[in-house]
Structure 1
């Protein structure tokens, strides 16, 4: 008969499973510090020895890491998404930049469509909250803050699509974006008109999502990333033109 005796799961195993799911679902994020041992054991309702056993197992699995004098942190599980050699290759070629935008356009369009259909009311509240922060940050003209909120907005949509594979894949991609591997986000915010247009594009995405209009949400994402692609192409062209102009200028001075 295909039956086996039911065994009671160890408390430490239950803790491991819970933390694994929190990381898998993107609730606990890379680099996030866990609460102190006493507080965490109370929250989980387990003894501190059981908690220590679970944390040790999660460290062996590469999901948690200890920092001397600082505590226990979620490991940088995204850091292994691309080899160092591939990251250097991305950085060295403009082709990777435009392929990256194309990839985002496809994935984030799909994520927006899924979010419009599958997001809970709370998911949509998170997206609305991030957009409200974008609006509040706009008059302050801080490129770093605006870039961070821009990334947070798009990641909130991906989270709301409820596909954990897409979530972790796109988080790894955004990590490279933050590190300037694909392009320097601050160049998108240098002109007042560009900043205003980007905000309105995000407003259109948010409006479609809040209305649960899947088609409009996807189209708004595609229009936004088409604009980003065009702006970056213009920037790259301007850089090349300036390099040529400097050569002409230096040559003219030597004549």
Structure 2
């Protein structure tokens, strides 16, 4: 057996590994701007040439993007699982919408269980802080603020699950989640579902997490998304019934 001398690790490789880990763990997000070269080299304790060598490697592999006159960014492509055209198809066809909700129920239920068991105290504080913002926004006349926080609340639970595959899968679907939240709320408000009802459902999820009750957390998430699915089905029936009623009315007018 032949042994080779151990070589010290290049500084640029250490920089690469650190940035890779920050992206992998979801700390650096797609589209996020990195500090300037000067600040980065100072924070990481490396020379600018070593930093440039690392950045060049990360750019070649599609992890970082350089924008002329704007600096260095985490590649937007890392957050895009579906092209916009496919996302629009999902939103406009019932089959995809209901499959999407089933997928969310399965994945977020599992994430909630993991977050209750494996999330750190700080993770739970982040989730609770977002929920408190939802409470404050629930009385704002503009419901879009609360809807945005709704999406952030669900994503924070996935982050607290500490499963990097699940994290990036759900992060990549953020646009679908965000658009789904807005669409779901619009439908439910048409049915006079109160914002308080939705807030109470999120409160049940948060309470289960804060007490680290994994079973109750999964049940609360599944109940919440099941409620959304039921509301969408009811609205679908309402649209169908209205279409039939209009046909009857048109027929009566021509008799």
Q: Is TM-score (shorter-chain normalized) higher than 0.5?
A: yes
Higher deviation after alignment, 164-173 or 141-150: 141-150
Cα deviations by residue, 1:150-195 (Å, 9 ceiling, x for unpaired): 1111111111111000011111222223356x97244156366431
How far, CA to CA, are the matches of 1:231 and 1:105 in structure 2? 15
How far, CA to CA, are the matches of 1:3 and 1:172 in structure 2? 44
Aligned to 1:219: 219
How far, CA to CA, are the matches of 1:34 and 1:141 in structure 2? 36
Contact 2:187 2:235 in 1 (8 A): no
Question: How many angstroms does 1:88 deviate by?
Answer: 4.8
Distance 1:197 1:179, change over 3 A: closer
Match of 1:139, SS? coil
Question: How many angstroms does 1:124 deviate by?
Answer: 0.7
Distance 1:2 1:101, change over 3 A: farther
Aligned to 1:201: 201
How far, CA to CA, are the matches of 1:58 and 1:211 in structure 2? 41
Cα deviations by residue, 1:79-132 (Å, 9 ceiling, x for unpaired): 542356643542442111111111111111111111111011111111111111
Aligned to 2:159: 159
Distance 1:80 1:203, change over 3 A: closer
How far, CA to CA, are the matches of 1:187 and 1:210 in structure 2? 29
Distance 1:131 1:85, change over 3 A: closer
Aligned to 2:53: 53
- TM normalised by structure 2 equals 0.89
Distance 1:2 1:167, change over 3 A: farther
Question: How many angstroms does 1:247 deviate by?
Answer: 4.9
Q: Please say if 1:71 is aligned against 2:65.
A: no
Cα deviations by residue, 1:124-146 (Å, 9 ceiling, x for unpaired): 11111111111111110323211
Question: How many angstroms does 1:196 deviate by?
Answer: 0.7
Contact 2:116 2:209 in 1 (8 A): yes
Aligned to 1:130: 130
Contact 2:30 2:79 in 1 (8 A): no
CA RMSD for the aligned pairs?
2.4
Distance 1:5 1:185, change over 3 A: farther
Question: How many angstroms does 1:16 deviate by?
Answer: 1.1
Aligned to 2:186: 187
Distance 1:78 1:95, change over 3 A: farther
- What 5-or-longer segments of structure 2 have no aligned partner? none
Aligned to 1:110: 110
How far, CA to CA, are the matches of 1:2 and 1:188 in structure 2? 69
Cα deviations by residue, 1:40-59 (Å, 9 ceiling, x for unpaired): 21111111222222111111
